[in-house]
Amino acid sequence: MKRDLALAALARHRTDQIVVSVYHSGFDWRRIAPHPLNFYSVGAMGLASSNALGLALGRPDKQVIVLDGDGSLLMNLGSLVTIAAAAPANLIHFVCENGTYEANGAVPIPGQGQVNFAGLARAAGYREAHEFSELSVFEAALPALLKVHGPVFITLEVEPGEASPRDYAFVHGEQTRADFRSALRASRPR
């Protein structure tokens, strides 16, 4: 399935979740679902899952969605065990699997086509792990998946879709970070 179409399906079901995204998923997500509660983990390959865990533990009142990449997750596989041990009920971990380090020129990842990321998450202790390769099946499952007590892991077998602008000035911008902090404060329960 095309990554941007899968993310657009997720965006149609988004309410007030914090969304942590990495690289191409982040640029696609910004184009598809701009929101001040988007946290861009661009420039920190592998840390989206760790950033999402910190946000999930710090804000147990809000669901946290992480839009990771397979190459990024390979940089920090230990986060799977850490997330499973912390067991945040409000964390949903999506991995866009395309078999490459896309941000670095689409260089193949080690074990391309052999690594089962959902299997790794299950072995680490995630409550649930799912895999999707068809957009219609994924979109039909989304409402139920977004209600599951986490942590939940979801592999999306994707290929690039419509190219999104790579606006590094925005994702690294001081105003973007300030807007995120303000949105977090504003959404805090009283």
Structure tokens at 55: 């946000």
Give the pLDDT confidence score for residue 24 in this predicted structure.
Answer: 79
Please give the C-alpha separations between residue 96 and each of 36, 149, 167, 182, in angstroms, as whole numbers.
Answer: 22, 21, 20, 29
In the DSSP assignment, the letter for residue 159 is B
Residue 31 has pLDDT above 80, yes or no: yes
Give tens-digit pLDDT for 4-13: 999 999 999 9
Proportion of the chain in helix, strand, coil states, percent, rounded to 5: 45, 20, 35
User: Can you tell me the distance from the alpha carbon of 93 to that of 169, in angstroms, rounded to the nearest whole number?
Assistant: 26
Q: Which amino acid is at 25?
A: S
Where residue 187 falls among pLDDT bands split at 50, 70, 90?
confident
Structure tokens at 80: 């799977």
42 contacts 23 by C-beta, under 8 angstroms? yes
* Residue 2: Cβ within 10 Å count: 14
Structure tokens at 161: 């879709």
Average pLDDT along the chain: 89
* Residue 180: Cβ within 10 Å count: 17
Give the pLDDT confidence score for residue 116 in this predicted structure.
Answer: 93
Structure tokens at 51: 């950033």
Which residues are 128's β-sheet partners? 152
Give the pLDDT confidence score for residue 98 in this predicted structure.
Answer: 81
